[in-house]
Structure 1
Amino acid sequence: MGVWELLLVGVVILLGLAGVLVPGLPGSWLVWAAVLWWALSDPRALSWAVLVGATAVLLLAQAVRFVLPPRRLREGGATTRMAVYAGGGALVGFVLLPVLGAIPGFVGGAYLGERLRLGGRGEAWTSVRTAMRAGGWSVLTELFACLLILGAWLGAVFGG
């Protein structure tokens, strides 16, 4: 697979990550489709292993999301700005503290966004807690699964 094709796969994965944060967009399935496209274009054992792993991770994430409360983020007071900060925080956390850093990064990013918006520490924590109860855990689960897939894909592309 050429550099331009790999770049396009990466762009589709990033679009999928952004789609996780936007209600109604099939973000996780865009990530999976990008990995499928890569595996079909680069038929090595490693690429197929990443595809199988991505499928398993997404199915597990869907099962976990089934148990969690449904997404009602708008009713819980979540804003688009909070989603952007939470997603950015998860990405930064994932890079700084591989894999597990996405969880505190997500919550910390949401808190930062609300702290900047509301000004007070107490109001920001209350808003973040309300948003997490209203479906934030569901978004975090899906985003975490997609970040794991991104990490596996990057590892296979650059390490394999």
Structure 2
Amino acid sequence: MGVWQLVLVGLVMVLGLVGVVVPGVPGRWLVWAAMLWWSLHEQTGLAWVLLVAATAVFLVDQVVVWLLPTRRIRGVGITRRMAVFAGTGAVAGFVLIPVVGAIPGFIGGIYGSERLRLGSHGRAAASTRTVMRAAGTSVLVELFACLLVVGAWLGAVIVG
């Protein structure tokens, strides 16, 4: 696979990660489609294993999100800035502390956004809890699954 195709697969995956925190964009599907594209062009054992693993991760992710309470975004105060902070925090956490760092990074991003908006620790912490109860958990689960798949793909590209 050429460098340009790898760059395009990576860009589609990044778009998928952004799509997880932006309503209306099918983030999980974009990441899976990019993995499928890469696997079809690579046609190695590792590529097929990663495609099967990504499919399994996304099926489990779908079930977990389905079992969680529905998203109640209206009236909670979720803003675009909060989504950007949460997504950036999750990606930064995933890079700094591989895999598990996405969770505190996501929550820390929401807290940071609310601390800037509200000014005090107590109000920001209360708002962060409210957001996580309303919609944050399902977004976090989906983002975590996408980060796992993207991380596995990136590892395969760097190693292979």
Q: Which residue of 1 aligns with 2:26?
A: 26
CA displacement 1:16-60 (0-9 Å, x = unmatched): 000000112110100000000000111001011110110010111
Q: Which residue of 1 aligns with 2:13?
A: 13
Q: Within the alignment, does 1:69 sit opposite 2:69 as a pair?
A: yes
Q: CA shift at 1:118, angstroms?
A: 1.1
Partner amino acid for 1:50? L
Partner amino acid for 1:34? A
Partner amino acid for 2:151? G
Q: Which residue of 1 aligns with 2:134?
A: 134
Partner amino acid for 2:86? A
CA displacement 1:116-158 (0-9 Å, x = unmatched): 1111111111111111111110000000000000110001111
Q: Within the alignment, does 1:146 sit opposite 2:140 as a pair?
A: no
Q: 1:73 touches 1:136 (CA, 8 Å); kept in 2?
A: no
Q: Mind listing any 5+ residue stretches in structure 1 that lack a counterpart?
A: none
Q: Within the alignment, does 1:119 sit opposite 2:109 as a pair?
A: no
Q: 1:17 touches 1:27 (CA, 8 Å); kept in 2?
A: yes
75-84 or 9-18, larger mean C-alpha shift = 75-84
Count matched residues. 160
SS at match of 1:141: helix
SS at match of 1:76: coil
C-alpha distance in structure 2 between counterparts of 1:75 and 1:27, whole Å = 24
Partner amino acid for 1:8? L
Q: CA shift at 1:82, angstroms?
A: 0.8
Q: Which residue of 2 aligns with 1:157?
A: 157
Q: 1:21 touches 1:139 (CA, 8 Å); kept in 2?
A: yes
CA displacement 1:69-116 (0-9 Å, x = unmatched): 112223322111111101100001001110000000000111001101
Q: 1:75 touches 1:134 (CA, 8 Å); kept in 2?
A: no
Q: Which runs of 4+ in 1 moved over 4 A?
A: none
Question: TM-score normalized by structure 1?
Answer: 0.97
Identity %: 64
Question: TM-score normalized by structure 2?
Answer: 0.97
Q: 1:111 touches 1:128 (CA, 8 Å); kept in 2?
A: yes
Partner amino acid for 1:77? G
Q: Which residue of 1 aligns with 2:96?
A: 96
C-alpha distance in structure 1 between counterparts of 2:152 and 2:80, whole Å = 28
Partner amino acid for 1:141? V
Partner amino acid for 2:122? G
Q: Mind listing any 5+ residue stretches in structure 2 that lack a counterpart?
A: none
Aligned alpha-carbon RMSD (Å): 0.8
C-alpha distance in structure 1 between counterparts of 2:6 and 2:25, whole Å = 23
